Amino acid sequence: MDRLQIDGGARLDGTVRISGAKNSALPILAATLLADGPVTIANLPHLHDITTMIELLGCLGVEVVIDEKLAVEVHPETLRDVVAPYDLVKTMRASFLVLGPLLARHGRAEVSLPGGCAIGPRPVDLHLKGLAAMGADIEVEGGYVKARSAGRLQGANIFMDVVTVTGTEHLMMAAALADGVTVIENAAREPEVVDLAECLTAMGAVISGAGTDTITIEGVERLESASHRVMPDRVETATYLLAGAATRGRVRVVETQPDLLDAVLVKLRDAGAAIATGDDWVELDMEGRRARAVSLRTAPYPGFPTDVQAQFLALNAVADGISRVTETIFENRFMHVQEINRMGARVVLEGNSVAIIEGVDRLTAAPVMATDLRASFSLVIAALAAEGQTIIDRIYHMDRGYECIEEKLAGLGARVRRLP
């Protein structure tokens, strides 16, 4: 199992290029199943989760041609199976998203119930309820969701009880090929939902309101060949800015979209960072200063993203003052706290949704273990800011969501090595 060795204490200084957004690429790959002809997707990040999704498409008989820049041409017309097996779905929750497209396009699908990140119970009840409201007949049997539709799915008015990102995406995809109009209320407003809507629209779907809490989809007869470029990863962008802030350094992040990061940039400014932005870049400069502690609360977009909570907590761990970080999206998303405390951080949990952080001047290196995708990078940030050499175990979590970690960090002047 790969480990990451980090010699801390170096101030990061340099430029890093941001990859395509994983959370946008995954639903978009699932959406290609709706089309009658080839769909080309560019700017896919080079990640394990993407490979898993491509493998799953392959398993359904869909031909996927990958070019050297990792643009893929997906051929949904070669599909010969509608069963998504446990082995692939268990490693990544987003693979569950093939259910709706298969059902809408082929009237039938069997998809294993997902596993995925260990960040508390993550149900898919709203996905299933929405598909049922569209007329699907759904049974759960032997760990598989077996869905059928007599004829086409039917447009429906769907109110989402909880704001769910992939839930919204799932129903938007299914509705694109339904008979009639679907209205999704209390929809997620995340930029990745908008990116998916743009891809579906390029395929011929008729969608309005993506990016607001009410999305209207007029079902169409068929979806066609299209090409789409995946948006930049806003979580990766925030993560590298936070690494810069925690090391009191200067980081310029390019090929990104700063306007999607307002909630994080506000907090970084509060922490004392000088931030400059352009159309597709952000630069953070701490000018050698220690950050000030900043309290925050995660919320659905445009609020502070839960996927950046762990990384900001790592900054607070070395900041001046006491802060409070409240997690409102997931029930068990503080597993990094125990590990970061092994490095001398002073973080106390109140229940499982609030962390109180007393910033320390310096963390010290220690062997630590990655527990989930975003939490893993909080340990990298802590290690970069710490004195001495930290070894982070189980970084396969991180490889699911961060492209070329060592190369990108090395480009910023970090002393990082992957150990087999």
The CB-of-192 to ligand UD1 minimum distance in angstroms stands at: 6
Nearest-CA neighbor of 264 among 288, 299, 212?
299
Tokens of 351: 């229940």
Determine, following the binding rule CB under 6 A, whether residue 365 of this chain makes contact with ligand UD1: no
- Binding region for ligand UD1 (CB under 6 A) out of 148-156, 161-169, 336-344, 391-399: 161-169
**Binding-site member from 165, 282, 343, 405 for ligand UD1 (CB under 6 A):** 165
Q: Closest CB to ligand UD1 among 307 and 403?
A: 307
Determine, following the binding rule CB under 6 A, whether residue 94 of this chain makes contact with ligand UD1: yes
**Binding-site member from 65, 66, 140, 162 for ligand UD1 (CB under 6 A):** 162
Q: Is 142 helix (H, G, I), strand (E, B) or coil?
A: coil
Determine, following the binding rule CB under 6 A, whether residue 88 of this chain makes contact with ligand UD1: no
Determine, following the binding rule CB under 6 A, whether residue 296 of this chain makes contact with ligand UD1: no
Q: Is 386 helix (H, G, I), strand (E, B) or coil?
A: coil
- Judge residue 276's burial from the number of C-beta atoms within 10 Å of its C-beta, 0-12 exposed, 13-18 middle, 19 or more buried: exposed
Tokens of 270: 């509060």
| Residue 199 designated active-site | no
How many residues bind ligand UD1 (CB under 6 A)? The answer is 20
Counting Cα atoms < 13 Å in the Cβ hemisphere of 117 gives 24
What length is written for the chain?
A: 420
The alpha carbon of residue 48 and the mean position of all alpha carbons in its chain are separated, in whole angstroms, by 13
- Binding region for ligand UD1 (CB under 6 A) out of 124-132, 175-183, 196-204, 355-363: 124-132
The secondary structure of residue 151, as a DSSP letter, is S
The CB-of-373 to ligand UD1 minimum distance in angstroms stands at: 8
Q: Closest CB to ligand UD1 among 161 and 407?
A: 161
Exposed e or buried b per residue across 52-76, where buried means at least 16 C-beta atoms within 10 angstroms of its C-beta:
bbbebbebbebebeeeeebbbbbbb
The CB-of-179 to ligand UD1 minimum distance in angstroms stands at: 24
Residues near ligand UD1, by CB under 6 A: 23, 26, 93-94, 122-127, 162, 164-167, 192, 306-307, 329-330
Supply the residues annotated as catalytic: 117
